[in-house]
Amino acid sequence: MPELLLELLSEEIPARMQDRARADLERLITDGLKEAGLGWSGVWTFSTPRRIGLSVEGLPERQPDVRQERKGPRVGSPDKATDGFLRSVGFDSLDRCEVREVKGADFWFAVIERKGAATADALGGIVTGAIRSMGWPKSMRWGDTAFQWVRPLHNILCLFDGRPVPGSLDIGGGEPLAFNGSTVGHRFLAPGGIAVSSAADYRAKLEKAFVLVDPAERRARIEEAAKEEALTITRHYFIREDRALLNEVTGLVEWPVAVTGRFDAEFMELPPEVLITSMRSHQKYFALETADKQIAPFFIAIADMETGDGGKSVAAGNERVLRARLADAQFFWDQDIEIPLSGRVEALKGITFHTRLGTVLERVGRIEKLAGEIAELIHADRRRSTNAARLAKADLTTGMVGEFPELQGIMGRYYALEGGEHAAVADAIAEHYAPQGPSEKCPDSRVSIAVALADKIDTLAAFWLIGETPTGSRDPYGLRRAALGVIRLILENRLRLPLLEMLRQATDEALRPAIASGTLTGLNRDDGPRQAFQFIVDRLKVYLRERGVRHDLVDAVFAIGDEDDLLGMLARVKALDNLLGSDDGENLLIAYRRAANILRIEEKKDGRSYDGQPDSELFKLLEESELDQELVLAKLRMPERMEKEESYGEAMTALAALRGPMDRFFDAVKVNDEDPALRENRLLLLSNIRSVMGSVADFSRIEG
């Protein structure tokens, strides 16, 4: 069956935008095909720095025929109604309509039949609509055009069944870009025009023209070429694994050629992170390392060119650029170590954290105090924790971090060690930003945990205080990341912390700059800590669901809202899951729902809530007394059992023990007795079932 081939040729598209652009283009084109009633068998998307496109296989030659029936007005209706109906269906007279009986009355019906148009005729509008609808993080206009796109668009190759699709893209100035059947090869190695007839022909001819259009193929070529190039130096050096850099470089070249370079051994005295960052972030080079993960004085650059000298000139040019970068880094290092971190803290008063939250120095004071409180709770060394918190942001004043912002914390560790600080303090400085994502290792030393938690709790409390909270996809201050960091630090290190109280303390400290400046208006002083805590809880729910924990059990436990200990809440969820996985638990849930349903119906009917203790003197049956006794015992013991994580299992066992008395009660007792006093007493007994079980979880939220 015929295929659609589309290539949009432009100036260089940023690598970070290409993956999303391919997905957007596929979605927009396939949505257009669906709307046109066109099916397909497969889609392949591709991109390089200069082009993005797709091929759609298995398209029909024509759109399907359409038959549509439209009911009109009743026969004999006024001419105005009849004329309006005819206009709506595109008919010129009632002679083209049919009369049908509907429920004893005659109505006009229009049967509209349209032959399917040629697929090629529909594709032009689908393609132009997709191009105009592509969402880019940043767009631009060029020349005297009004059209906006990520970069100037030069050519649109658009073929269906080997022939150009009729159509063009109006760019709002100059000649429209007419759809055609040709493209160009590599900008320097094969810049001439290339006529193509199919996707297979396109791929083959472009490869001969030094363009690998498939990003997966390019990525594999880069990976293999880099490994082979490393072997030309020695078998003892290996490419440092860096999937993010590999993906980025894939989007920077059309014809990858690996080139080896080296740098002077004198720079090997710099911290390895500085060497890697100089190579990776600025130059997009792959670092080499030894088997024991030590950085080697070599790099692999991926050029987008083949040269007559085997890449020697390219390597020499890259070496010169890197040498200048590393010389700058060496200069910053030599200058920075002249002043110890402790001597840099005061300079943080010159850096504004937020106009309403004071300077970084003021924030450091808050973190230092909070870190000391957390250290006491988690049995960390308080002196080292507060010292690490005081020094954690000091590297922001160094030349190295000014040049390489991504080395915040990491350089602080090196400077702390150079200044004679304890290793635990230095490690806490390096790790206090962590974890910044789901894959980053979570700190596990107590001093590091105290400082990392203090930093994140202060961030959450401070921004909730001033009302700068995430909205939709916007989260400019990384509050979702901070909340997830708090969750991981607590759960992975099994910490029992009064998190809400910590947020309240942090809020009180964050108020000080506002109090000093008199800018107290618009602050969320009272509700901020609770709202920040609820935000963390909401993130925890997502975190647990992604790990296979039943969402209804999470909701059931968290709905109680009677504690701020995340580890304890998780333990409740697990204990509840164990209970409901047993026969007693499953039947207990059935009995609870029966009690809750009766109460809900009767409370709605009576216009009142049944709360309180039943009168034991009104019990007429043994089953009433037995259930009441079990509920009283459970109510007495439940608070104690819910205080400690190790007792949650006992609490669930106590609930399971209610199953038998509840079953016997419902088998023997008529709740809605004719005697109003007996009915009320029995409804109160049911309300005690609800309250006792509700002290553990909101069982009404449990599914199944």
Domain positions in the chain? 4-61+118-208, 66-114, 215-336, 348-547, 574-701
> What would you report as the CA-atom Rg of the chain, rounded to the nearest whole angstrom?
35
Residues 6+ apart with CB under 8 A from 334: none
- The single residue listed with the structure tokens 């009660």 is 665
CA–CA dist 608, 613 (Å, integer): 15
CA–CA dist 251, 17 (Å, integer): 9
| Residue 233, phi then psi, degrees to nearest 5 | -85, -60
Dihedral angle computed from the Cα positions of residues 265, 267, 270 and 274, in that order, rounded to the nearest 10 degrees: -120
Closest-CA residue to 361 (of 389, 340, 380): 389
Q: What is the pLDDT of residue 520?
A: 67
Domains 348-547 and 574-701 share a fold: no
CATH 1.10.3210 correct for 348-547: yes
> 232: buried, middle or exposed (CB in 10 Å: 19+, 13-18, 0-12)?
exposed
CA–CA dist 124, 223 (Å, integer): 39
CATH 3.40.50 correct for 574-701: no
Q: What pairing do the DSSP bridges indicate for beta strands 177-180 and 153-160? A: parallel
CA–CA dist 441, 558 (Å, integer): 27
Q: What is the pLDDT of residue 319?
A: 95
Tokens of 328: 């700058």
Q: What is the pLDDT of residue 646?
A: 67
CA–CA dist 397, 341 (Å, integer): 9
- In terms of DSSP H, where are the helices of 356-478? 360-378, 382-391, 399-403, 410-418, 423-431, 446-465
Q: What is the pLDDT of residue 201?
A: 97
CA–CA dist 671, 678 (Å, integer): 8
Give the DSSP letter of residue 422: -
Q: What is the pLDDT of residue 195?
A: 97
Residue type, 322: L
558-580: pLDDT as tens digits? 888 767 888 888 888 888 888 88
The DSSP bridge partners found for residue 301 are: 259
Number of neighbouring beta carbons within 10 Å of residue 613: 14
| Residue 6, phi then psi, degrees to nearest 5 | -130, 130
Residue type, 344: R
Cα separation values, 558 from 534, 540, 637, 646, 692, Å: 10, 10, 21, 19, 16
Contacts 24+ apart (CB under 8 A), 240-244: 240/276, 240/286, 240/287, 240/288, 240/289, 240/295, 242/280, 242/286, 242/287
Exposure string over 674-692, b if 16+ CB within 10 A, otherwise e: eeeebbbbbbbbbbbbbeb
Three-class DSSP category at 305: coil
Tokens of 113: 């039949």
CA–CA dist 167, 181 (Å, integer): 12
CA–CA dist 44, 404 (Å, integer): 39
Q: What pairing do the DSSP bridges indicate for beta strands 105-114 and 98-102? A: antiparallel
Q: What is the pLDDT of residue 562?
A: 65
CA–CA dist 239, 330 (Å, integer): 24
Query: What region, left, alpha or beta, does residue 204 occupy, with left being phi > 0 and alpha being psi -120 to 50 degrees?
Result: alpha
DSSP codes, 606-623: HTS---S---GGG--SHH
CA–CA dist 610, 672 (Å, integer): 13
Spell out, as residue ranges, where the chain has pLDDT lower than 50.
none
Number of neighbouring beta carbons within 10 Å of residue 12: 13
